[in-house]
Amino acid sequence: MAEKHIARSKYDRFFFIAGLAVLVLGVVLKLCQSMPAFRRIYDLPVFLMLIGAVTALKGFLAFSKHHEGTVVLSRKTFGAFLTNNAILLAMLVLVVIICILQPRFMQIRVALDILTQSSTRLIIALGICFTLLIAGTDLSAGRMVGFAAVISASMMQTATYSNRFFPDLPQIGVWIPIIAAIAACMVFGALNGFLVAKYDMHPFIATLAVQVIIYGTCSLYFDMPPNNSQPIGGVRPEFAALGQMRIFAGNGFQGISILIPIAVVICVIIWFILNKTVFGKNVYAIGGNREAAVVAGINVFACIMCIFILASCLYGIAGVLEAARTAGATNNYGNGYELDAIAACVVGGVSLNGGIGKVSGIVSGVLIFTVIQYGLQFINVSPMWQQVIKGVIIAVAVAIDLTKYRRK
Amino acid sequence: MSEYVLEMRNITKTFPGVKALDNVQLKVRPGTVHALMGENGAGKSTLMKCLFGIYRQDSGEVLLDGNPVKINSAREAMDNGIAMIHQELHPIRFRSVMENVWLGRFPGLMGVVDHKAMYDKTKELFEDLGLSVDPLALAGEQSAAILQMMEIARAVSINAKIIIMDEPTSSLSDREVDFLFRIISRLREEGRAIIYISHKMKEILQIADEVSIMRDGQYVGTWPALGLTTEEIIRQMVGREMTNQFPPRTGAPSDEIVLSVRNLSSPLKKSFQDVSFDLRKGEILGIGGLVGAQRTEFVEALFGLRSIESGAVTKDGKAYRARSPRDAKAHGFALLTEERRATGIFGILPILENTVIANQKNYARMGVLDERRRVREADAGCKGLNVKTPSLNTLIQDLSGGNQQKVLIARWLLTNSDILILDEPTRGIDVGAKYEIYNIMLQQVNQGKSIIMISSEMPELMGMSDRIVVMCEGRVTGILEKGQYSQEEIMRLATMFAGPRKNAEDHPAAD
C-alpha cells in the first residue's frame, strides 16, 4: 500500500459522512423490518443507528474544531492501528461471527445484559487499577468484595425471615449496613497500604496476607451463632433494589439495570481523580519513577495509603452491590475476582510495571471479557473451552501490548 | 612473543554528543602493574569497557600478544584472558563464595554441578592466594576486601593474563590494602599484567611500574613510575587550557548568609563527616572532589534524603533539619539529582507532568487541579529555559539529555526555591546546552537565589563557582575563594587523604 496523505479536515469529514450513511442504513432497515425477510435481524437497525450517530457526531466535532495537519495512510500506520486495537478488533470479529451463528445476539436486551454484568467487575477493576498503576497489585480485592457482601446482607434481612443473622436487629436504614460494609473494607485497605508504605513490603505479599486475614475474619463473622455458616437470605426488598432495580422499564422494554448508571458514575469519578487531581497525578508519578517522586517532594507514604484505601472502598461498593443483586451472601462471594480484574486491566493496557493505564482502557478491558464470555455462552461453547479462550486472550493481548512499547 | 601483552591503538569511541575517547592508546607489558590515571570523565572507564567488550569502539584496534583480536562481550574478553574487577562489586549475596567464583563456568557434567570438585578447586585457589575463607560461606556476609579477593581468585581461575582493577582500594582499610598489594605483587611475579585505575597518588607510586595518563578522552602519555612525583602526575592530569566556555559573571554575591552548615556528620563513618561552610545570598558555591568524596551523599542529606547524625544547619537564621524532601522543599530547597534517569525524570510521562510535579499543590484547590494554570506555567517555564520540544505532551524520555535537564530545572524554578542544589548539572549534556544551563544559573543568582553546585568537571567548577568547597573522603579539605584556586590546588585538596585515613579528632574542620 502506497503512502497517502489526507488533510485532517477531509479525514474528519469522511467519518461524519460515513457515520451518517450508517445511520441512514439503520433507519432504512428499521423501516423494512416489518417485511418477513428482515425479521431475523432483531435489533440490528438500532445498533447501526447508534454506531452511525456516534461516528457522525465524533467526526462532526473533530471537523468543527478545525484541526490542522494531515493524516498519513500507509502500511505502517495501518499496522500500528492493527496492533493498537488488536483485541478490540478481535472482539468485533467474534461478535460478527456470533451474530451470524446466532442472530438473536443482536438484541438491545443482550447488550444491556452485558453492560449489567460488566458493572460490578468494572468497579473492582477500577479499584485494582490504582494498585497496578504504582507497579503493585491487590490480591485481597475478591475477599473484600465477599466481606462487604456478607456484612451488608447480614444486617438487611426482613423481620419475618426465619433464619436471621441478628434475630433482634430492628429494621435499620439501608445506608447503615452499606457504610458499615464499606468502612470494614477500608480498614483492611488501610492495613494493605500501611504494610506496603511503611515496611516497603511488596504489594503481592502484603495483600496476599491481608487476603487470608479477611477471609478468616469474614468466615468467623459468617459462622457466628445463630447463623453458623448458613447462606444469608431473606434480604429486604429495598436493599435488593440497589442491585435489581430497573429504570425506564415498561412498554415491552425490560428497563436498564440500576447497576449500569452506578458504574458509569463511579467511572466518571475515578477518571476525574486520575486525571484532574493532585492525588491522581501523584499515582502516575509514583508508578513512573518512585525515586524521582520522592525527590520531587511527593508524600509517597500518604499516597500509597490513599491508593489502597480508595481501592478497598470500591471493592466494598462492589460487594454491597453483589449482595443486593443476588439478594444474599456467603463467605465465598468474590472469590477470585481480583484475578479477573487484574486480567481486564492488563488487557485494557494497564502496565504491570506501573505508570501506564487509562480508565477508557480498563472499561474496554472489562467489556471485552464480558462480551466474549457472554457471547461464547450464547453460542453454547463449553465452559471448559471458555476458560482456555480467556487465558489465550490474556496472553495474546499482553504480548501485543508489549511489542507496542518495544518498538521504541 | 610481543613486547606488550596488550596494545590498544587509536581507540575512538563516541557517544551521542560526546567524544569519550579520541585516538587513545595503551601499551601494557607482561608482569607489570600499569596505572591508568585521569580525572573523572577522562575516559579511563570507557577505555576499559572497550577492552572488556562492554562497549564497542568506533575505530582502533586491540592486540593481545601482538595478535589483533575483536572482543564483543565480557565472555569473549574472559576467553581471551582478560578479567575485570569492578569498583562496585555485585556478588550474588545469597549464594556461597565458591558459586560466585565459578559462576557461569560451574565444573560438572551435562549440567549437573560437581560440588566436590568446585569446593576443592576453590580451596586450592584461595590457599594459593593466602586467603583463609570458607568456600561455602555466603558471599553476602563477606567484607568488601574478601569479595575483592574472591574476584581476584576468579580472575586467576580463568588464567587471566590481564587483570583490570578499577579503584580496588576505595573501600578497603589500610591493612586490607597491604594484603591486596601483596597479592598484586604475586600476580605480577607470575607474569600477569595488572591495569590499575586509581586516584590515590601514594598507592600509584607504591605499586605501579608504569603510569599512563588520560585527559578529556585523550591519551597524554606513559611514564615509568620510578621518578614520577605526585605534582607531576597532577600537572599532566589537569594540564589543559581553559577556554571561554562560560558566560561572563555579572553581579556578585552579597554578604548575607542564607545557609550555614556546621559540623554536619552522617551516621555512616565512611560517608560525609564534620562538614562546615556558609552559603551567601546570590552565590554559586561549587563543591569539588573525586568520585567517592561523598558530595552527593552530603547534599542528599541536606535535602532530607539521608539521615544526619550530628551537626547543625541554619537557614535564614533559623535552625533547619529536613526529615524528608517534602520538608526541604517547604523550606525553599531544590535538588537537581545526579542520576537524571533514576531519580529525576518520569520517563513515561509527558513534559507537562514532569515540569509541574513538584509544584502540583499550588495549582490545586481542594486537590482538584486547575488544568489551564498547569499548562500555562509549564509552558512558560519550559519556554523560559528554551526547552526544545514539539509540545508539552511529548514524553520526556524522547528529549535529549540537555532538554531533559532543562525541564528538571524548570520544575524546581516553579517551586520558587531560594537554594538550588545542582548535582552535576551538565553531566552527559552537549556543549550548547551546557552554556544555556550556565546562563540559567547566573540568571538565578542575579535574582538573589543561591546555588550549591557539585561538579566533577574542573573547568566548570572553576568557571562557574564564586567559591569552591573541596571534599575528600567525606571531609571538607579546603574552601577556596575566587582568584585563589588553581586546578593543581583543587586536585591536591581532593586527593589529600591518599595515604592512611585520618580520624575526625586530628582533622580540624576546615572553616
pLDDT at A399: 85
pLDDT in single tens digits along all 511 residues of chain B: 578 999 999 999 987 656 789 999 999 999 999 999 887 778 888 899 999 988 889 999 999 999 999 998 888 898 899 999 987 778 888 888 988 888 878 888 877 888 899 999 999 999 988 888 899 998 888 888 888 888 889 898 888 999 999 888 877 777 888 889 999 999 999 999 999 998 778 888 899 999 999 988 889 999 999 888 888 888 888 775 545 678 888 888 898 999 999 999 999 888 999 999 999 999 999 999 887 789 999 999 999 999 999 999 999 999 998 899 999 999 999 999 988 888 899 988 999 999 999 998 889 888 899 999 999 999 999 998 888 888 899 899 888 788 899 999 999 999 989 999 999 998 877 667 788 899 999 999 999 999 999 998 888 899 899 999 999 989 999 999 988 888 888 988 988 875 444 443 333 333 3
Taking the CA of residue A286 and the nearest CA in chain B, the distance in Å comes to 9
**Cβ B345–A292 below 8 Å, yes or no?**
yes
Mutate to test the interface with A, among B305, B327, B349, B414 (most CBs of A within 10 A): B349
Read off the pLDDT band of A46 (50, 70, 90). confident
Contacts of B360 in chain A (CB under 8 A): 278, 281-282
Higher-pLDDT residue of A39 and A231 is A231
Contact B346 A282 (CB under 8 A): no
A83: number of Cβ within 10 Å: 13
d(CA B104, CA B425): 39
Residues of A in contact with B367 (CB under 8 A): 277-279
A72-101 residues touching B, CB cutoff 8 A: none
Residue numbers in B near A356 (CB within 8 A): 348
Range scoring the smallest mean pLDDT among A10-14, A137-141, A163-167, B224-228: A10-14
C-alpha distance from B411 to closest chain A C-alpha (Å): 9
Residues of A in contact with B329 (CB under 8 A): 297
Residue of higher predicted confidence among A316 and B246 = A316
Q: Which residue of B has its CA nearest to A353?
A: B348
Please name the residues in contact with B394: beta carbons below 8 A apart, sequence gap of 6 or more. Answer: B350, B351
B343/A295 CB distance under 8 A? yes
Task: Identify the three-state secondary structure at position B21.
Answer: strand
Q: What is the pLDDT of residue A219?
A: 95
Q: State the nearest Cα–Cα gap between A262 and chain B, in angstroms.
A: 22
Chain A: residue nearest B349 by CA? A288
As a whole number of angstroms, the distance between CA B9 and CA A116 comes to: 73
Return d(Cα B158, Cα B107) in angstroms, integer: 12
For residue A226, cis peptide bond before it (omega within 30 degrees of 0): yes
Stretch A77-88: mean pLDDT: 80
Interface contact B367-A277, CB threshold 8 A: yes
A299·B361 Cβ contact <8 A: no
Which candidate from A285, A295, A299 shows the least CB-CB separation from B335? A295
Band (pLDDT 50/70/90 cuts) for residue A41 is confident
Q: Which of A145-154, A227-236, A285-294, B142-151 has the highest mean pLDDT?
A: A145-154
Whose CA is closest to B97, among B143, B48, B62? Answer: B143
Size of interface A-B (CB pairs under 8 A): 72
What pLDDT shows up at residue A65? 76
**Closest by CA position to B481, among listed B495, B473, B470:** B470
* Cell numbers representing residue B386 in the block: 528554551
The answer to whether residues A365 and A349 touch, using CB atoms and an 8 Å cutoff, is yes
Contact B399, B352 (CB under 8 A): no
Q: Indicate the Cα dihedral angle B348, B354, B357, B358, nearest 10°.
A: 130
Taking CB atoms and an 8 Å cutoff, what residues of chain B touch A289?
342-343, 345-347
- Contact A278/B at CB under 8 A: yes
Secondary structure letter of residue B368 according to DSSP = E
Sign of the dihedral defined by the CA atoms of residues A26, A30, A31, A32, in that order: positive
Q: Let me know: does B412 contact B336? Beta carbons within 8 Å.
A: yes
Burial class, B88, CB count within 10 angstroms (exposed 0-12 / middle 13-18 / buried 19+): exposed
> Among A29-38, A281-290, B232-241, which range has the highest average pLDDT?
A281-290
Mean pLDDT of chain A: 89
Q: Evaluate if residue A407 carries a pLDDT over 80.
A: no
Nearest CA in chain A to B322: A297
* pLDDT computed for residue B464 by the predictor: 92
Percentage above 70 pLDDT, chain A: 98
Cα nearest neighbour of A355 on chain B: B348
A297 touches chain B (CB under 8 A): yes
Query: Please, where are the H alpha helices in B287-430?
Result: 295-302, 325-330, 340-343, 351-356, 371-384, 401-414
Sign of CA dihedral B422, B424, B426, B427: negative
Indicate yes or no: CB of A284 within 8 angstroms of CB of B368: no
- Residue B427 CA to residue B163 CA, distance in Å, equals 29
Closest CA in chain A for residue B303? A295
Euclidean distance between CA atoms B240 and B254, whole angstroms: 32
Q: Give, in order, the Cα–Cα distances in Å from B376 to each of A217, A378, B366, B371.
A: 51, 52, 20, 9
Q: How far is CA B334 from the centre of its chain?
A: 21
Say if A352 is an interface residue toward chain B (CB within 8 Å).
no
Contacts with B348 from chain A: Cβ below 8 Å = 288, 355-356
Nearest by CB: A276 against B305, B329, B369: B369
Local confidence band at A313 (pLDDT 50, 70, 90 cut-offs): very high
- Residue B425's contacts (CB-CB under 8 Å, 6 or more residues apart) are B336, B405, B409, B437, B441, B453, B455
Which among B79, B115, B112, B110 is positioned nearest to B96, based on CA atoms?
B115
- Name the interface residues of B facing A (CB cutoff 8 Å): 303, 305, 324-326, 328-329, 335, 337, 342-349, 353, 357-358, 360-361, 364, 367-369, 371, 411
pLDDT at B496: 81
Overall size of chain A counted in residues:
408
Q: Which residue of B has its CA nearest to A289?
A: B346
Above 80 in pLDDT, residue A57? Answer: yes
pLDDT over 80 at A96, yes or no = yes
Whether A5 and chain B come into contact, CB under 8 Å, resolves to no
Q: B358 and A293: CB-CB below 8 Å?
A: no
Is B344 in contact with A292 (Cβ distance < 8 A)?
yes
pLDDT tops 50 at residue A408: no
Alpha-carbon span B370 to B362, nearest angstrom = 9
Give the residue from chain A lying closest to B347, CA to CA.
A288
CA distance B346 to chain A (A): 5
Each residue's pLDDT tens digit, A348-368: 889 888 888 999 999 999 999
Subunit contact A289:B347, Cβ cutoff 8 A: yes
Q: Do B343 and A356 touch (CB under 8 A)?
A: no
CA A374 to chain B, closest CA, distance in angstroms equals: 36
CB-closest option in A276, A296, A356 to B357: A296
Compute CA distances A309 → A272, A276, A357, whole Å: 17, 19, 19
A365-405 pLDDT, tens digit per residue, is 999 999 988 999 988 999 999 999 889 988 988 888 777 66
Within 10 angstroms of residue B239's Cβ, the number of other Cβ atoms is 12
Chain B neighbors of A293, CB-CB under 8 A = 346, 357
